[in-house]
Structure 1
Amino acid sequence: MTTLVLCVDRSNDIGRATGLALPVVGWEAVQSLVTDVGLADPEDSSVNCLLEALRVARDLRDDHEETVVAVVAGGGDSLVGADRSLSSQLDELIEDYDPDSAVVVLDSASDERVVPVVESRLRVDSVDRVVVRQAHDIESTYYLLKQFLADEELRTTVLVPLGATLLLLPILLTFFSTGFALAGLAGVLGAALLYKGLAIDESLSEVPERVRDALYSGRVSVVTYAVSLGLGLVGIFLGALSVSPQVGPESVIIRTMQFTYSAVPWLALAALTGSAGRLLDELIGSDGVSTPYLNLPFGVVSLGLVVRGFAGWFLQRESALPSPQLFGYLVTPRQRLAAFIIAGIVVSVVGVRVAASVSGESIDDVVQ
């Protein structure tokens, strides 16, 4: 059984340093090559790689194994040309010595990419990477940084937000305080991380295609979605106008409830319009109407009633909303809240029954 101890120099540093033609084969030839490379460039890590190949060959020979130690190197101006030259040298060694397996000795991460080339021609029993102790951390850091910069997705995810942050920092520090500048930068970084982490970019990239498909297919929901967007903006505008400029520790809560009380009907109407358009698309289609689309309009109305009821209860309790009268009786905040809750439940139950009657399912199936 013959083992080929193969020292790989993909970048051909050995050939350029010594001016010798490779491959170099044999114990004495490799020993002489170590001296030549060391004298040409004592700081070259190829010296350690050659010595490691000799050590591996000696250990295998001590275990009574037949070994052939050889040095191959790349050639040419490109990586493809270097790998082809190395493959040609390897084929020559296999033809001359007919080894059964190989032990690959290398000294850099770039040389490791040649291992599949060797494996395609010969069984590889071991890969021995030589790292000079003084340069281990530096080389590993350099290799990781190089791989990071080569990954386009990582560059856009990390380097772009970091670069934008570094550009904004001096601008914010010029016009604002240090605390405000740091808070603004933290917000920018947080938004960038959420943008990538939640895959918002992927969802946004699909929006134009979805809108184009919806327009070409003639869906009613395209128009109703636009109407619902307008109604939602109207609700936000009217909710903001309804907020009174009160002062005091409770003003934030009161303003929030005033905004909610005024905006909820319009927001519910916007959601109802959008769901109605989706329901019309289902009715026009040939597949029939599914139960969730039938339940959605009723669910929107019931949710709007419940939310408006709680907001009205809070405002009426704090005297920010006048108490209504019904048949001459003054309605209390609790009675008002109970009426809205009951109305929401009734609408929800009606929606379940309508969905069950239209789809032909039982109420238990619809609830489930």
Structure 2
Amino acid sequence: MTTLILCVDRDDDLGRKAGVKGPIIGRKNNLDAAVALALADPEDSDANAIFAAVSLYDRMKKEGKDIEVATLTGHENVGIKSDEIIAKQLDKVIRKVKPKNVIFVSDGSEDEYILPLVTSRVPIAHMRKVIVRQSKNIESTYYILMRALKDKKMVKKILVPVALIFLAYAFSSILVATIKYFFPGWNLMGPGTMALTVITLTLGLYFLDRAYSIRRRTAHFVNRIKISMAQAKITIISDTLAFLLLIVGLDLAYNDALAGSDIIIQLIIFLHTFIVWFVFAVLIREGGKTFDIWVHKGTYTKSFWIALLSTVSTGIIIYSTLDYLLVLLNAKSEASLIPITIMVASGIVLAIMAALLQRQLKEEGLIEEPEEERNEMEELDEVV
């Protein structure tokens, strides 16, 4: 009683590409058909399945078993038409070979759909799937991915965004369900819309953090505050005061801008008021840094005078320029340009003095980062 090794080409690649008609019975005929298909399309997996069937035939033949190999072909219109053709070819093979059972060799594609058709005629003793490594690049990519997934750093980069998506969706769904349960009268967006919103927000924050190291910068800032407080530095007070001055300046500038007749004038008035508070905030911050250096080291950095002159000169020039624009736009009652001209000249003189002082200090080698600040930065980087 013969065992039949059976291959099926359900979409008839053999006929369309190599011009070989089924059924194909016998080792030589199958080998020739596989070679013809491989030459016509080296990437076709059906050729590899036939080669695997012939290889299995040779191995079982050496063991002295009664064996035969055959390949069935269907039609390019996969479905009823192709299966009818395969059924007719299978009946023809069975009549000729009279097998007691079948070893079904498949390339793992659509060929397995015809298994009920085969089992209705002859028992299947064994199935073998042929997984084809058609490209070294594909194989290399697989091993690269496997190695990457073993790397904890790489896994974090790949899985963190996916985890954020799942967590954002779950959190949004639970949040919407909870709110609707306790406050059924509230008109909320649907869970899907809420989830999509939270997902985009979460991923946006994550990508910004990856691009600009927001978490590292925040940790750096927090640790700097801790060190400043531990060392009783005045900078934490001066920085806080400078921040409060900026808030006050924004509020006053906004209230003053409301008096403008149009958006352009309002914007100019806003900047005109805010620039004064901004200059004061910068001066207080720089003054606090200089005071800290003087308290802890007994000296002060001469670069403070450069920062002082540069900040004041820039503020005066910007303030006087905005003042001049308000006069031109008839948004200011005082039409005299003499005070404005004096202010611009004063700002330019201060800027020149700052540049000359900076040049002198550079020549003397006095402009450098204070050693205390360098040590502090190194300590903070280690902490982060």
> Which of the five TM-score ranges fits, normalised by the shorter chain?
0.3 to 0.5
The alignment's TM-score, normalised by the length of structure 1, stands at 0.48
> Which structure has the larger Rg?
2
